């Protein structure tokens, strides 16, 4: 772990973490640091995030102890309707292209964070990102590999080819990449504020790009968008209170998994005990069956979140776990009967305020559509809608799709942890494993971030990807009881990469952790030098 009395920023790329730490050194808050780090990530890790994507954050205020949640996920254009997709002959949502694009929420999310928790001038937060976009940066190891895998998507569009390929190839590790068009967009936002994106020159470029490709986004779709402050949901687990954001995120699945874990003595069994791994994989199947069946935009559909995360529901649901045979065709439960009320980085400042922030384009380079003149990709979050009119996540105008992004937070006594682990549907199950590693097995945040993980890449079934550091006895037991395992390398980004910060309010000491499955680092706030 990185340990300091001052602030710490942990991000998936070192230059971005450093940008955040620099804001702390200038007197900025954790929110300022998070915005600067996130804006820089859009430059240095462009396949994963950028201003064309969405944003979620959980903020813990050290002075008041209050926890706030920010849902800055965008909605479908008003013209992107079920009837439109049916008329085009689509049976499922496209995974790329202009019809997968939803309104980006990130820039309004930065604004909301800054207005409520920022200290530094807005324009200062974007200077590191502008610098790296203009002057260039050497591409790092993990990012170079992921960029290379995206070459076919980038070759498909003229803007993407021009911006993200160098002489027809993706940048190699150590090769300097520049994006002056993106620097222009960042400078507009720094100088004119978020309105440049939603009402100004960038908005006009987004609409021109969409129109050229046959899209349906309008000026009203962009200008009317606003993020939403929400109340995080929580459960208690082994004395810890664990918080996740409500739907349309998948945070309810993490909380349901933890409630199911609580019925088994995972700590007494131990981390290497095959029974621990079996229980966690079976709990994942139950929670994700409910996630698929019920999650959606709570502004437009009724989501039984309170029931899904209730202990009474878990006590009923846990009976479905057969310790002798894996459940491969798990059905959703009936949580409504129990209803009681839904690129990751983290930053902690010198005062102990914590921002847990996650932002993404969804799949690598999102929709593959790169905006004319401004060098950034638009997200493909619309790909997560379904075209079944009876499903809670059915496509509808100005509806937010089911969202994989979740920023995590947990606390016990004087210890407060902001954490997150990336990777689509991997996130909720990775959060639950991280919490268990700390609460059941006594790991510190760096050990828990490095611990071997499993992931089921879909909503159902008995197919799991596991790192080869998962104990052989556990892998044997899972196979014997009916699961199919794909064995990965010792540190695989298939199970996601994450970051975490921790603040002990009793001692005033901060801690940072960074996942070796990414190019990131936890960087402490430097001390000010006398001038």
pLDDT (tens, 9 = 90+) of the chain, 531 residues, equals: 999 999 999 999 999 999 999 999 999 999 999 999 999 999 999 999 999 999 999 999 999 999 999 999 999 999 999 999 999 999 999 999 999 999 999 999 999 999 999 999 999 999 999 999 999 999 999 999 999 999 999 999 999 999 999 999 999 999 999 999 999 999 999 999 999 999 999 999 999 999 999 999 999 999 999 999 999 999 999 999 999 999 999 999 999 999 999 999 999 999 999 999 999 999 999 999 999 999 999 999 999 999 999 999 999 999 999 999 999 999 999 888 775 443 789 999 999 999 999 999 999 999 999 999 999 999 999 999 999 999 999 999 999 999 999 999 999 999 999 999 998 999 999 999 999 999 999 999 999 999 999 999 888 899 999 999 999 999 999 999 999 999 999 999 999 999 999 999 999 999 999 999 999 999 999 998 887
Question: Residue 283 in contact with residue 237, Cβ under 8 Å?
Answer: no
Q: Which is it for strands 137-138 and 233-237: parallel, antiparallel or unpaired?
A: unpaired
Domain limits, the chain: 15-229+364-384, 232-343+404-522
CB distance 286 to 326 below 8 Å = no
Select from 186, 191, 190, 167 the least CA-distant residue to 177: 167
> Which of 140, 170, 249, 342 is an active site residue?
342
Question: 284-317: buried (b, 16+ CB within 10 Å) or exposed (e) per residue?
Answer: bbbbbbbbbbbbbbbebbebbbbbbbbeebbeeb
Rounded CA gap, 235 and 246, in Å? 12
- Token pair, residue 184, equals 């222009």
The phi and psi torsions of 278 (rounded to 5 degrees) equal: -65, -45
Q: Are 55 and 359 in contact (CB under 8 A)?
A: yes
String of DSSP letters for 105-152: -HHHHHHHHHHHH--S-GGGGGHHHHHHHHH-EE--HHHHHHHHHTHH
Query: Rounded CA gap, 502 and 269, in Å?
Result: 27
pTM over the 0.85 mark: yes
Residues 460, 429 contacting (CB under 8 angstroms): no
Backbone angles phi, psi at 325, to 5 degrees: -150, 135
pLDDT, residue 339, reads 55
342 as an active site residue: the answer is yes
Write out the CATH class of domain 232-343+404-522: alpha beta
Instruction: Identify the DSSP state of 164.
Output: H
The DSSP secondary-structure symbol of 462 reads S
Q: How many CB atoms lie within 10 A of CB 362?
A: 26
Dihedral-angle region of residue 185 (phi above 0 means left; psi in -120 to 50 means alpha; beta otherwise): alpha
- Strand 484-488 with 463-467, pairing: parallel
Query: For residue 340, what pLDDT is reported?
Result: 47
């Amino acid at each position: 772990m990185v340990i300091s009395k001052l602030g710490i920023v942990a991000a998936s790329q070192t230059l971005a973490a450093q940008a955040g730490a620099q804001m702390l050194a200038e007197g900025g808050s954790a929110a300022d640091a998070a915005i600067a780090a996130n804006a820089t990530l859009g430059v240095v890790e462009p396949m994963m995030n950028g201003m064309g994507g969405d944003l979620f954050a959980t903020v813990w205020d050290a002075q008041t102890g209050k926890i706030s949640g920010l849902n800055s996920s965008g909605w479908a254009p008003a013209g992107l309707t079920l009837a439109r997709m049916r008329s085009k002959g689509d049976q499922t949502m496209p995974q790329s292209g202009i019809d997968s694009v939803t309104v980006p929420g990130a820039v309004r999310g930065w604004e909301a964070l800054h207005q409520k928790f920022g200290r530094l001038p807005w324009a200062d937060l974007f200077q590191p990102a502008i610098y790296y976009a203009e002057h260039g940066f050497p591409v790092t190891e993990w990012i170079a590999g992921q960029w290379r895998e995206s070459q076919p998507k980038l070759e498909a569009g003229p803007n993407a080819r021009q911006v993200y390929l160098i002489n027809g190839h993706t940048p190699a590790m150590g090769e300097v990449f520049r994006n002056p068009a993106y620097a222009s967009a960042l400078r507009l936002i720094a100088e004119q504020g978020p309105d440049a994106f939603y009402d100004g020159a960038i908005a006009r470029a987004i609409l021109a790009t969409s129109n050229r490709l046959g899209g349906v986004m309008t000026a009203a779709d962009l200008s009317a968008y606003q993020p939403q402050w929400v109340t995080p949901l929580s459960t208690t687990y082994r004395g810890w209170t664990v918080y996740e954001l409500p739907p349309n995120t998948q945070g309810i699945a993490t909380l349901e998994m933890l409630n199911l874990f609580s019925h088994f003595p995972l700590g007494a069994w131990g981390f290497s005990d095959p029974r621990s791994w079996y229980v966690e994989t079976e709990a994942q199947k139950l929670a994700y069956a409910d996630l698929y069946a019920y999650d959606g935009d709570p502004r437009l559909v009724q989501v039984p979140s309170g029931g899904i995360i209730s202990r009474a529901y878990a006590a009923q649901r846990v009976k479905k776990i057969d310790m002798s045979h894996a459940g491969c065709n798990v059905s959703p439960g009936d949580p409504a009967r129990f209803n009681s009320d839904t690129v990751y980085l983290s930053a902690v400042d010198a005062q102990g305020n914590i921002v847990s922030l996650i932002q993404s384009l969804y799949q690598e380079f999102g929709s593959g559509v790169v905006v004319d003149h401004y060098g950034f990709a638009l997200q493909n979050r619309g790909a997560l809608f379904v075209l079944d009119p009876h499903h809670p996540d059915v496509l509808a105008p100005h509806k937010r799709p089911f969202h994989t992004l979740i920023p995590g937070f947990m606390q016990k006594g004087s210890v407060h942890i902001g954490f997150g682990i990336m990777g689509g549907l991997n996130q909720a199950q990775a959060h639950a494993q991280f919490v268990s590693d700390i609460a059941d097995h006594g790991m510190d945040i760096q050990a828990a971030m490095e611990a071997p993980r499993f992931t089921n890449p879909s909503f159902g079934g008995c197919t799991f990807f596991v790192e080869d550091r998962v104990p052989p006895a556990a892998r044997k037991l899972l196979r014997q009881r009916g699961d199919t395992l794909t064995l990965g390398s010792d540190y695989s980004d298939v199970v996601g990469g994450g970051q975490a910060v921790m603040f002990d309010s009793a001692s005033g000491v901060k801690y940072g952790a960074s996942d070796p499955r990414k190019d990131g680092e936890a960087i402490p706030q430097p001390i000010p030098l006398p001038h």
